[in-house]
Structure 1
Amino acid sequence: MPIIYKCRHCTKEIGRLDHQIVESTMLGFDQLTTKEKEDMIKYKTNGDVEITSICESCEDTLGHNPHYHELDFFIQ
């Protein structure tokens, strides 16, 4: 059951954990609200867990273009 981190903007894979057993508290999931968990954590039918976050490139782009925060998607 890999845990795959993907960017919510460009969908690039940021990272991957291939451990068999990982506690959610070690990943900080216990710090998220219920709404944040619903938005960020997706359980795939093949057993993978996909976490949406933001990659460094998209974070840099948002930093230089703060008005992009108003958009649902800024990468086309």
Structure 2
Amino acid sequence: MLLPSLMVEDAVARGALKRVLPSLEATPLDPHLAYPSREQQHVRVRKFIEHLTEARSRLKSSGLVDVLRSFQLRHRAEQGERLG
């Protein structure tokens, strides 16, 4: 099982978990939302989908997505240095 670094960094630091394949990194994926057809879709669900779509667009247009990915890559590198 491959878990996000942020979920396990404390356990790795304590020694409860150990990276066994440090060169294996998951490719960041854009989130996807699956839902049944919009027929009879509850208004709250529709509003939630609209909110997520707008938030993602704002993040992409602001360049924050690139900043977060850069931070994630630096964080992984630092974790590798500490573990290596």
Looking at both structures, which has the greater relative contact order when contacts are Cα pairs under 8 Å and sequence separation is at least 6?
Answer: 1
TM value normalised by structure 1: 0.22
Instruction: Tell me which protein shows more strand as a share of its residues.
Output: 1
Instruction: Tell me which protein shows more helix as a share of its residues.
Output: 2
TM value normalised by structure 2: 0.21
Between structure 1 and structure 2, the one with the greater Rg is 2
